[in-house]
Structure 1
Amino acid sequence: MKQAEDLLFWCISNVTELFNEVEHQSKDEIDRLRKFRTEINTYLDRREKELLGNIQKMKTEDESVLTELKTACELAKGGLADTRAELTSGDVSDNKRYVSARRAQKELQGAHHKIETMAGRMKARKYRFVKDADTERLLWSKMGLGSLDVAGEFVSFPDLSTVTWKQQTDIKARTSHDKFLCWITGSALISPGIFLLADNGNNCVKLVDVSTGTVTSRLHLPDKPWDVCVLPDDQAAVTLPDKSIIHLMSTKEVQLSYGKEIKASPDCRGIASYNNKLYVSYKSNPRIEVMTLDGHIISTFLKDDGKLLFHEPYYLTVSASTPPTLCVSDYSAHTVLQLTLEGKVLGEYRDKELSHPLSVLKVGPGQLLVCGRDSNNVMLLTERDGKMTEILGKKDGLTLPDSVSFCPYTRAIVAGMYDIDSLKVFNAN
């Protein structure tokens, strides 16, 4: 009955998490759609303003020329009327009339010259608004704005407390471009069977395909990386502690390419992403910073009720439970700390079998994997009761493990170790 209750509790937790994923996905995609619609509206407003401005400019210029011509014509006409009146007046002597006639001849010649000159300028531009063909086609398109594509499905994580693990063939992480031993300090799943690795020993990040056991892409970095996390839209991030930067990169089509850099504080270590925010841990002045994808710091977790939270927070992960929580491994305190996303302590977990915890990873509802570096193991932490159970250890070939990742599609655990060129791979029986 106890086993059945535990399984049912796990099933309910899994369904609840999937509900949360569906809710968050709906909100995120609606936000993306409305953001795109706003961008379109802004673009159309700008183009309308530009075109209206062009129309007004042409109208003003043509009206200015025509007004000038009209004024010149009216002045010339007024001059001729004065001359006619002077020539036809009965009160003027013949001598004055003669002089006026001679002057009128010159004025008449000048008036004809002006008329000839003005005739060439007496015109205005004719224009019409021409619809943009691409925009007009958009009005007839049934796919305007975009479409809703099914990109995959949310995976129901297995209850790792009920499975046993079988060791697979090690994967060689070293490539011909590497000069030193590999030190995989961070890893993350980007797609089924494809893991992103931070190779601290060779100043690079790599993609490895567990199904083929090969490194499929390598990207050199300006310094030693520490941890990695996956971002939306085929993006990822890596921390470079000595350079005080977070480097963004593209993982599109399972190939790595450079993105922008985000300025960070010195000794940035662990990194996790949730709801378009980055959570970054720091070894120096131990804390966690919450920032936007542009590097703007939103909040900092340093203390709770006046007490310092961390000693050496090397890694962290976000658990999308209800409500979501932040779990941080504290290396020298030998603990895993659970916080709210506002930095309030919910729980502190430790076990005599866990020494110097490093990589911590959410693997399902209320379940985490934690690397014990000096205890040479991977522990399964159950948040509900705080219980830790060793699922992999020294007997399985683990020596100073630093990073751990899990693929729910292939049900595989991948572990990286200190100064070892290969990755340990284990599949659930």
Structure 2
Amino acid sequence: MCAGAGEGVCGHGGECVRLRMRVCAGSVPVPGLSTVTWKKEADINVRMTQDKETCWISSSALISPGLFLLADCNNNCVKLIDVSTRIVTARLQLPGYPWDVCVLHDDQAAVTLPNNSMIQLLSIKGGQLSRGKKIVSPECRGITSYNNRLYVLYKSNPRIEVMTLDGHIISTFQKDDGKQLFQRPYYLTVSASTPPTLYVSDYSANTVLQLSLDGKVLREYRDKQLIRPESVVEVGPGQIIVCGRDIHNVLLLSERDGKMTEILGQKDGLTKPYSVTFCPHTRAIVVGMRDNNSLNVFNAK
């Protein structure tokens, strides 16, 4: 299995991202994305006959080259899509709406179900989807993994819990030097920096916060082009992309200089983007939007 940051066209998810980048990208160099010109490809329709509502792809994660796991928030399901054939190859109904997904080892993935107060582990072996064990996790939102640990975000009583794959809570990040870390955090990812760090998008604060893996604040990213940030994803060492929902854009964050650059926007057809994925192999970005049956696909020229 190649666990990546989006492949074929690639994307969100966490160590998820670090694992994906390490295994999938291997030695594939990631260009400086701030200077790349993006070409919009044909959208991919992800709606299936079983879907009763317009799709809302709130999260995506790379499974293997060309194969993505999608969380369809409006239709209470997860899907596998083969980007190379543009076909949804599997669908699994869930007991509630999924919010965020990440890829684990051994052909497993995890999805948060906020209204069901649980994290559902999934088997993704052989291109099939099935449910595994559940972890009780009231009002969980964002999820990522690193070093066999889950990092889980909570909107209510905002915090990060670090837990084992069995759900045992190891530590909790809520304050730094007595100050509340978050207002309304929704997504997070682990970077491939040395040492690795966490990035958390805060919907209400209009910020992306960089933390050490023990919960210490390293940097706060804020920009007039970043309003209501959603999915935040590593695309390579020192480069992070984040969806700005209310200005309909995707921004690139640079660890080196702390700058934020818009790389995709409303002019490119984005409307309320929630999930984003980058593939280093194909140099492609895939964006999922709220109440939209299509994935937007962009290739680097």
The two structures have a TM-score, normalised by structure 1, of 0.64
Structure of higher RCO (CA pairs closer than 8 Å, 6+ residues apart): 2
Residue deviations 1:288-344, cap 9 Å, x none? Answer: 000000000000000000000000110000002100000000001000000000000
Q: Indicate whether 1:184 and 2:57 are aligned.
A: yes
- Which one of the candidate residues 236, 243, 246 is aligned to 1:371? 243
Q: Give the structure 2 partner of residue 246 of structure 1.
A: 119
Q: Indicate whether 1:422 and 2:294 are aligned.
A: yes
Q: Distance in 2 between matches of 1:298 and 1:339?
A: 17
- Which one of the candidate residues 42, 45, 53 is aligned to 1:169? 42
Residue deviations 1:107-159, cap 9 Å, x none? Answer: xxxxxxxxxxxxxxxxxxxxxxxxxxxxxxxxxxxxxxxxxxx9994533232
> Retained in 2: the 8 A contact 1:324–1:340?
yes
Shift of 1:193: 1.7
- Which one of the candidate residues 234, 237, 241 is aligned to 2:110? 237
Q: Give the structure 1 partner of residue 274 of structure 2.
A: 402
Q: Distance in 1 between matches of 2:24 and 2:205?
A: 41
Instruction: Say how many residue pairs are matched.
Output: 282
Stretch deviating more after TM superposition (318-327 or 403-412): 403-412
> Retained in 2: the 8 A contact 1:193–1:410?
no
Amino acid at match of 2:278: F
| Helix, strand or coil at the partner of 1:399 | coil
Matches within 5 A, 1:32-47: none
Percent identity at matched positions?
A: 71
Matches within 5 A, 1:253-272: 253-264=126-137, 266-272=138-144
Shift of 1:162: 2.7
Q: Unaligned regions of 5+ residues in structure 1, if any?
A: 1-19, 26-149
Q: Give the structure 2 partner of residue 353 of structure 1.
A: 225
Amino acid at match of 2:47: R
Q: When you count strand as a share of all residues, which structure comes out higher?
A: 2
Q: Give the structure 1 partner of residue 96 of structure 2.
A: 223
Q: Indicate whether 1:284 and 2:142 are aligned.
A: no
> Retained in 2: the 8 A contact 1:193–1:407?
no
Q: Distance in 1 between matches of 2:272 and 2:104?
A: 28
Q: Distance in 1 between matches of 2:100 and 2:170?
A: 21
Residue deviations 1:327-376, cap 9 Å, x none? Answer: 00000100000000000000000111110100000000100010000010
- Which one of the candidate residues 2, 26, 31 is aligned to 1:158? 31
Q: When you count helix as a share of all residues, which structure comes out higher?
A: 1
Q: Distance in 2 between matches of 1:160 and 1:215?
A: 28
Q: Indicate whether 1:382 and 2:293 are aligned.
A: no
- Which one of the candidate residues 197, 217, 224 is aligned to 1:325? 197
Matches within 5 A, 1:79-98: none
| Helix, strand or coil at the partner of 1:375 | coil
Q: Distance in 2 between matches of 1:249 and 1:155?
A: 28
Amino acid at match of 2:117: S
Q: Give the structure 2 partner of residue 274 of structure 1.
A: 146
The structure with the larger Rg is 1
The two structures have a TM-score, normalised by structure 2, of 0.91
